[in-house]
Chain A
Amino acid sequence: MSAPAVELDSVTIKFGAFTAVRDVQIDIKDGEFFSFLGPSGCGKTTLLRAVSGFLEPTVGAIRIHGNDMGGIGPNIRPTALIFQNLALFPLMTVWENIAFGLEVRGVAKAERRRRADELLDLIALPGQGDKMVSELSGGQKQRVAIARALAVEPQVLLLDEPLSALDLKLRQHMRTELRAIQQRVGLTFIYITHDQGEALTMSDRIAVMSSGVIEQVGPGADVYDRPDTAFVASFVGENNAFRGRVQEIAGEDVRLETAHGPLVGRLNPRNPVREGDEAYLFVRPESLKPAEADESLNRIEATVRQDEFEGSFHHLILAAGEDEALRMSSPNDGGREGGREGESLAVRFEPKRAVALPLGPLATE
């Protein structure tokens, strides 16, 4: 096995007494689309700047393809960073922007132009090289920034929330586009975002971060379906958190005594709850279903407070005892029964769709 594309070896980054990134230990594979996902201020940019060489870890090491990057400046590292605000050069044309890295390397002008045109083809902007950056739309600027970074043929491309300035439609389109570009060039991408939708749709693996600490690393489906901590469960996607005391653990099944009576879910062996402890049981909105009259397991009596109709989904907000804002999503497939605002509604969920986790801070966003 060759060395990982990027190794973060117990990386800690401090600003004075403040620890922005704490003991991060991750190997990123060659050609992987790897995302760091976390709320703003959790240290994502700081970590990315350490990989690109704009700051050095206080403790630990960063290796790229096995080479220790300690003391190697951003101008020498085999990485290219795409900034949150893109940082295109406004006084240069599009092609000069793209070819800037080649200019730096002393490539002759004709060759630079040729490479820039190739990259313009790659990002589907053929023939736009002589425009000024200001003449481009947001999505086009985005792609130029990617081309400019690719031009220097980095081993790792680093992206700092590059889509955050775009509007929703374009953002969704650019997700597909980015992923496609990544697969075409086969490069390692490290992508940071606070948008779980972006992370889930594009990434091979996601690291969920909170307050400078990595909470969980894994493929999107794993992070979404089998969260390791209360923070991950509540930050990645919507989740209902039922609080209760663990009554019994039988194999994988966990029974909690809650305000709604006993509720049964699954243990997470990576972070197991213990009998007698207080714990959360997390149930996704899409795992809540209307309960038949004879179904009593994991049954919750609730009232519909609100129906946020989104087109393809009804997002119901339910009140049930002390849980005043349970969320339930059901597809708008014509088979919808009950659940008008103000009506009472009994809901239930499958034990295998619920995860029991020890108490911990929840995401506040």
Chain B
Amino acid sequence: MALTGWLKSFLGKNGLLVGLYILIAVAVWIVLLIVLPQLFMLDFSFRYNLPPGQVGGPQDVYTLSNYKYLVFGSPGNQAAYNWIDLSVFGQTILAAIFVTLIDLALCYPIAYYLAHVAKGATGRLLVLSLIIPYWVNEILRAFAFRIIFGASGVINNALIYIGVIDQPIDFIREDVALYTGLSYAYILLMIFPIYNAVESLDRNQVEAARDMGASWLRIHWRIVIPYAKPGIASGCTMVFMLTAGALAAPQILGGPSSLWFTQLIVQWFNTGGNWPRGSAYAIALLIACVAFVLFMMRIFKIRVGEIGR
């Protein structure tokens, strides 16, 4: 009842044509592009990897074996757990947290500066200089990072030239290139939500705190950050999710010893030819990330609704 009422008023407000278009577009977007593929992935993840002839046959039944594999490894495994994959899983989450923290530390001051200090032309110029580099696509950017961080790259050459080091540092092996690339990749997704949140903060509150003797540190800690919390949460969530799910940067910039969980997933899908297991791995990553984000929001007392502001 409420739904038909809402429908009526929605169509009445927007006109039939526009209203229907919006409804259908949103429905297609949600069902076809978000829900259905994920449902198929979910379904896949609970099935055996059967040759095409047996799909739909009597052996095509639901199983937890793909998830079990991630945790316990193959049945013939010596160790109790699948330490190799689990540690990649854990490292990926930890690395994503690390990258998120780096981005937060980098972006909060920039966002605050853009929102409250930079005025007019300076501000616009800054925003442009943040956005325009993103016209360069991810792969190109990753390889460019590889070049400047390479053994004979600009950075090593410069360091050697000014005499800080005499042997080139292997930034790739040390994963410096990887973390730099990942941190840079989603910086805008951190800056803009924080910018949005901070921007609506009344400047007088900052001045009032200052007038009462507060240091800049305290002003941020007590006034600005609590106010910007939803924006910070929103930025952190996006950066964390996307970093944990990144593929290109780890593949191109990762050192020989670093393996991203997404790379495992791709291996199962592609080289392994085992789509169900790949799906199970992907779903496991998704659930872990969502659970982690919800847990953090709980700790910082942020409601999901606030993030959408």
A residues with a Cβ closer than 8 A to B are: 52-54, 73-76, 79-81, 83-85, 87-89, 91-92, 100-101, 103-105, 148-149, 152
Contacts and interface: CB of A to CB of B under 8 A. Distances in A.
B222 to A, nearest CB: 7
B209 to A, nearest CB: 7
Contacts of B202: 85, 87
Contacts of B214: 75, 100, 104
B119 to A, nearest CB: 13
B213 A81 contact: no
Interface of B: 202, 204-205, 207-215, 218, 222-223, 226-227
A76 B207 contact: no
Given A54-B207, A83-B204, A89 B213 contact: no
B213 A75 contact: yes
A104 B207 contact: no
A174 B207 CA distance: 24
A83 B227 contact: no
A92 B223 CA distance: 9
A88 B202 CA distance: 10
A103 B207 CA distance: 16
Contacts of A100: 209, 212, 214, 222
Contacts of A105: 213
Contact of B213 (A83, A92, A101, A148): A101
Contacts, number: 60
B212 A87 contact: no
Contact of A74 (B210, B218, B223): B210
B227 A91 contact: yes
A126 B205 CA distance: 25
18 contacts: A54-B207, A54-B211, A75-B212, A75-B214, A75-B215, A79-B211, A80-B211, A80-B212, A81-B208, A83-B204, A84-B204, A87-B202, A87-B204, A87-B205, A88-B208, A92-B222, A100-B214, A105-B213
B163 to A, nearest CB: 41
A148 B214 CA distance: 13
B170 to A, nearest CB: 47
B109 to A, nearest CB: 20
Contacts of A103: 222
Contacts of A79: 211
A81 B218 CA distance: 19
Contacts of B207: 54, 74, 81, 83, 87
Nearest to A75: B213
A89 B223 contact: yes
B211 A91 contact: no
Contact of A75 (B205, B210, B222, B226): B210
Given A80-B212, A88-B208, A104-B214, 15 more contacts: A52-B211, A74-B207, A74-B210, A75-B210, A75-B214, A75-B215, A83-B207, A87-B208, A89-B205, A89-B223, A91-B227, A104-B212, A105-B213, A148-B208, A152-B213
Contacts of A76: 213
B233 to A, nearest CB: 15
Contact of B212 (A53, A85, A92, A148): A148
Contacts of B210: 73-75
Contacts of A87: 202, 204-205, 207-208
Contacts of B223: 89
Contacts of A73: 210
B231 to A, nearest CB: 14
Contacts of A89: 205, 208-209, 222-223
The 3 closest A-B pairs by CB, nearest first: A87-B204, A101-B212, A87-B208
A73 B218 CA distance: 16
Nearest to B209: A100
Nearest to A73: B210
Contacts of B227: 91
A75 B206 CA distance: 11
Nearest to B229: A91
A88 B205 CA distance: 7
Contacts of B211: 52-54, 74-75, 79-81
Contacts of B215: 75, 104
Nearest to A96: B222
Nearest to B227: A91
A102 B309 CA distance: 33
Contacts of B222: 89, 92, 100, 103
A85 B204 contact: yes
A152 B211 CA distance: 10
Contacts of A92: 222
A144 B295 CA distance: 37
A91 B208 CA distance: 14
Contacts of A85: 202, 204
A103 to B, nearest CB: 8
Nearest to A80: B211
Among B213, B218, B226, residue most surrounded by chain A Cβ atoms (within 10 Å): B213
